[in-house]
Amino acid sequence: MANITAAMVKELREKTGAGMMDCKNALVEKNGDMSAAIDFLREKGLAAAAKKSGRIAAEGVVESYIHMGGRIGVLVEVNCETDFVAKTDEFHELAKDIAMHIAASKPEFVSREEIPAEVLDHERAIYRTIAENEGKPAHIIDKIVEGRVDRYVKEICLLDQPFVKDPDITVNDLLTAKVAKIGEKISVRRFVRYERGEGMEKREEDFAAEVQAQMGK
């Protein structure tokens, strides 16, 4: 069996617009054959999402989520292409799920492209110092630093976070699947998250577990 690398998954994702897990599964299914994996995704209808990425999504909803007791409040704008789709129950359910995810997972940005360069440079400097203090060999420090920065980015970017209702996929994978099903471009434009007395009442992991428990009802 071929060794499926992160670079291969990234390349397939860029070529098709399909979700990260869908790309990985396609490469595994086709034993690392890129062309066959592309065809596999097209046959499944997942690569079609890429064709819609350039469209304008100006319709949609501003969805809200207020956690029990008013401790957490989230507003998120989720866009689609037509008013018809924006009014469907499926689209509203998607927007509500994303709002609840934001409440539980506390992202800081929608995507990695929104992160200011100075923020990433600051993190790189910290991780470099940590790696040097750990006595890591000089010739692999750059690789270690970039790996840790990538993990940091995945923690703070909404689209890269594991979806709280299904941690096997990311929020971006969720959107890609919906695009393939609904047939329109769907995107998260912006969000704001408010937390009363942040850091004073409960540990964040306790709150995340509470939200997920509520979502499972």
Tens of pLDDT, residue by residue over 143-177, are 999 999 999 999 999 999 999 999 999 999 999 88
Q: Give domain status of residue 91, yes or no.
A: yes
CATH number at residue 201: 3.30.479.20
**Residue span of the structural domain in which 123 resides:** 116-154
Per-residue pLDDT, 180: 82
Give residue-wise pLDDT tens across range 29-60.
889 998 888 888 877 776 655 556 556 566 88
The reply to whether 72 and 161 lie within a common domain is: yes
What is the C-alpha separation between 29 and 153, in angstroms, rounded? 29
Neighbours of 154 (CB within 10 A): 14
The DSSP code sequence of 22-64 is HHHHHHHHTTT-HHHHHHHHHHHT-TTHHHHTTS---EEEEEE
Number of domains the chain contains: 3
Q: What is the pLDDT of residue 58?
A: 67
Q: What is the pLDDT of residues 63-96, one digit of tens each?
A: 999 987 788 999 999 999 888 989 999 999 999 9
Regarding whether 121 and 97 lie in a shared domain, the answer is no
- Would you give the end-to-end CA distance of the chain in angstroms? 41
For residue 205, what is the DSSP state?
H
